[in-house]
Each structure stands twice: as C-alpha cells, then as structure tokens.
Amino acid sequence: MQRRTFRQLRATAESQFHHHVYVVLLDACAGKLRKAISSNPNRDPRKPSVYVGMSGLKPEERFANHKSGIKSARIVQRYGLRLMPELYEIYNPMPFEAAANMERELAEDLRAQGYTVFGGT
C-alpha cells in the first residue's frame, strides 16, 4: 500500500479548488441598455451595474482576458472598468460545481440588493 504524504494531499486539494467567481464594475452606460432594464426590473439606478462571472483563472487574469477580447463577454469588453473584490473575495477559490452555483447565487443576491446585473447564468 502506498502512503500519501501531506505534500501529495495538498497538491490534490489545490488542484480541485482553483475556480473563482468574480464581479466586474461596469460603466454607467451599461445600465441604460434595453437588456439591462428588462432583465433587472427591480434595479436601483443609484447602484452600479456589474457583471458576475466564473473562471478557472484568477479574477485579475480573467478580467485582463475580457478586456483584450480573449473569450470575452462583450459587455465587459466594452464597459468593464475594474474588479470589485469586496463582493467576491471571501468565496474564492472553490471546486467547479461550487463556483457554478455561487455564480448564480451571487448574481441573484446582487440583483435583490438593487444592482443591475449582467451574467451570472
């Protein structure tokens, strides 16, 4: 029987927990789009528009990809200003299934708080 060392266990755990959810602050112009208004009927115009996403990359790296057009969401490429780590830092990193669920839940929570939310599906 082969013994598993702490180093092997830690490497396995780290590889399983490498997905992240992230929130991008969008320019105020994004909140005036027809899609934003129809998909966020209870939005508070005083709160910002945000994009909620999930990735196997670190949020900073994923945001850079969005802005440079690599597998980007068009709304983030056009209107993305910066990441909002205060809204997602406590959740990361996590396994894929948890990140997929957290993306939906975080989008719903932000929508309930009055944010204009894109993504999160």
* pLDDT for 14 beyond 90: no
Helix intervals (H) in the chain: 6-16, 34-39, 59-68, 74-79, 96-112
Cα 44 to Cα 52, 53, 57, 104, distances in angstroms: 17, 21, 31, 20
Confidence grade of residue 84 (pLDDT, cut at 50, 70, 90): very high
Nearest C-alpha neighbor of 114 from the set 47, 24, 51: 47
Domain boundaries along the sequence of the chain: 17-119
* pLDDT for 52 beyond 80: yes
Overall pTM surpassing 0.75 (yes/no)? yes
d(CA 69, CA 31): 21
d(CA 60, CA 82): 9
pLDDT per residue as tens digits for the range 54-76: 999 999 999 999 999 999 999 99
* pLDDT for 11 beyond 90: no
pLDDT per residue as tens digits for the range 28-51: 999 889 988 888 988 998 999 999
Cβ atoms of residues 89 and 44 within 8 Å = no
